[in-house]
Chains A and B, each alone.
Chain A
Amino acid sequence: MTMFDALTDEQETFVAPPVGVRRLLATGDPSLRTHLATFGPLPAVDGLGGVDGVTAALEEAGLAGRGGAAFPTWRKVASAAESGRAAIVVANGSEGEPMSAKDATLLHQSPHLVLDGLLLVAGVLRASEAHLVTTDGQLAPLQRAIAERADARGVRVRTTEDRFVSGEASAVANAIERGRAIPRDHVVRLSIAGIAGRPTLVLNVETLAHIAVIVRFGAAWFRSVGTADDPGTRLLTVAVDGTRRVVEAAGGTSLRRALEATGVAVESVRAVLVGGYHGAWATGEALDAPISAAGLAPFGAAPGAGILIVLSRGHCGVVRAAEIAHYLAGQSAGQCGPCANGLPEIAEVMGRLARRDRDASLPRQLRELGGLVIGRGACHHPDGTTRMVMSALEAFEHDVHAHARGLCQEVA
């Protein structure tokens, strides 16, 4: 039997798609054998109709990026294909957000899905390089997975610093090109001109894993779970009392149900910071909102990278928001004036509010400072930091007023 026959045999093996909401985390172990038994082989690029076929399937599936900005994935792939120059594809597993654990979990449990997605996108784009960027903890499982398959030998794995802004797309490109994981100024999209001026497609590792199942089982299958405006599943990290729990949930699952699925009773919850440290605080009726762009928009929130940070009852939201603002100010790459100067000032004023300084002008000072930093950096770090702080002023309005009078309602 020739090599070719063996491949044909394998392609004829039918593997049924995963049923229910355990898709990306459907395998029991990270081995290639279990991966193939669960998902079947990765379809050959030729059979998928090239870039047009793949982008059409991704558009029909309605897949949006899982790295935070929720940009339609098909558009990014199409844009990288446009120039005709050899593209560079990058799997972003940096997961700089300290409360997130979904990318690490995915890389430990289903590394082959991520590799499949990366190789497939690189294949359809005829990319000259495929990179996977992650942090130290995921290196061993990845190297084990790569050693199991011949097609992944060319994937260049690199570890990045565990800092908040390291995972920002231009910082990832910078790390690959110049060894420094800090964002860089750019006026054209990376998918048009990134590393060495070449089209550079940076996709979150979860996004790539979804691509790997969509090309196998189709857009209709992808949409068979989730809602019309938030199809498929998404990985969520629920951070509560120092633990991080990862769950795969149907798109549009309510915050309440997602919390319950990880063993958190909503009655014990004072608020949830939705979308991570750059996210927005949800309280009261917002806790019943679906985790989707449309469902969270009325509350000024977005799913982001699927991070839900729980503030339990008995804890002060103003104090927690101040701690996060302080952390975020320290994570500024310090290269853009408004960010380097403004974020520490925001953190300082937020700290005074948390300490119950009797100064009624503190919320106004925060709004003014926020207005001075938004949109004024090489990356969206100032915008995200301001969003979280402004949202805290709104969600914890009563506490903010109490603090300005030297009181705190939540903590005696």
Chain B
Amino acid sequence: MPGRTLHIDWTRCDARGSCIELLPELLRRDNWGYPLARTGSEFAVPAHLDDAAEDAVNLCPVLALRFTAPVRG
């Protein structure tokens, strides 16, 4: 299964941080508590972390995370 892409909606995210705990391999906390990925607002989720990513989407209290199209190229 090709990896999916997660998108952070910064207009919703309020740094509650549950996604950072669920995806420590992909996210760390920035200076202000917001999730910091390797690439800005969209980041690739390797297949073996897909379940954890799914949890992060479902557990974000403000619905700031969502999957977008499969990773291109």
Contact = CB atoms under 8 A, between A and B. Distances in A.
Interface of A: 183-185, 187, 335-339, 341-342, 372, 374-378
Query: What's the dominant secondary structure at chain A's contact region?
Result: loop
29 contacts: A183-B11, A184-B11, A185-B9, A185-B10, A185-B11, A185-B12, A187-B7, A187-B42, A335-B10, A335-B11, A336-B10, A337-B13, A337-B15, A337-B34, A338-B10, A342-B31, A372-B30, A372-B31, A372-B36, A374-B40, A375-B39, A375-B40, A376-B10, A376-B36, A376-B40, A377-B10, A377-B41, A378-B9, A378-B10
A187 B6 CA distance: 10
Contacts of B14: 337
A361 B66 CA distance: 38
Contacts of A187: 7, 42, 66, 68
B40 A337 contact: no
Contacts of B10: 185, 335-339, 376-378
Contacts of B12: 185
Contact of A375 (B11, B30, B41, B68): B41
A276 to B, nearest CB: 22
A336 B15 CA distance: 10
Contacts of A184: 11
B41 A376 contact: yes
Contacts of A377: 10, 41
Interface in B39-68: 39-42, 66, 68
Contacts of A183: 11
A119 to B, nearest CB: 34
> Closest 4 interchain pairs by CB?
A375-B40, A336-B10, A185-B9, A341-B32
A187 to B, nearest CB: 5
A375 B40 CA distance: 4
Contacts of B11: 183-185, 335-336, 378
Contacts of B32: 337-338, 341-342
Interface string B17-34: 000000000000011111
A184 B34 CA distance: 18
Given A185-B11, A336-B11, A341 B31 contact: yes
B9 A338 contact: no
A375 B39 CA distance: 7
Contacts of B66: 187
Which has the most chain A C-beta neighbours within 10 Å: B7, B40, B68? B40
Given A187-B68, A337-B14, A337-B15, A376 B9 contact: no
B30 to A, nearest CB: 6
Given A376-B34, A376-B41, A378-B11, 15 more contacts: A185-B12, A336-B10, A336-B13, A337-B14, A338-B32, A341-B31, A341-B32, A372-B31, A372-B36, A375-B39, A375-B40, A375-B41, A376-B8, A377-B41, A378-B9
B39 to A, nearest CB: 7
Contact of A338 (B34, B39, B42, B68): B34
Contacts of A341: 31-32
A172 to B, nearest CB: 16
Contacts of B39: 375
A121 to B, nearest CB: 27
A183 B41 CA distance: 15
A38 to B, nearest CB: 45
A288 B34 CA distance: 43
